[in-house]
Amino acid sequence: MSIVIIYGPKASGKTTNAERMKRHYGCRRIVDGWDAFEDIPKLRDGDLALALDEPTVSIHGAIVIDIATALKKIGTARP
């Protein structure tokens, strides 16, 4: 398992589709409103982190996905 970070602007469908994305990516916990500059130590294996911005720092073992790609993967074109 790993950490999945999904980023996108406000009202783009991150929170609305969080449970579906959690199941799709096999995550155990949702961390909504995650901020790369403040919350890196708070993430753990199996987390789905929802963020406004793409992380500018590398997080070991994390998969970073933009919201449009994540929505396509779960079969939702829009929030």
pLDDT value at residue 12: 95
Condensed to tens digits (0 to 9), the pLDDT of residues 23-33 reads 999 999 999 99
Condensed to tens digits (0 to 9), the pLDDT of residues 63-76 reads 999 999 999 999 98
Task: Give the whole-angstrom CA distance, residue 74 versus residue 54.
Answer: 20
The residue among 28, 65, 23 whose CA lies nearest residue 43 is: 28
The per-residue DSSP string of 4-43 comes to EEEE--TTSSTTTTHHHHHHHHT-SEEEET--HHHHGGG-
Choose between 63 and 38: higher pLDDT. Answer: 63
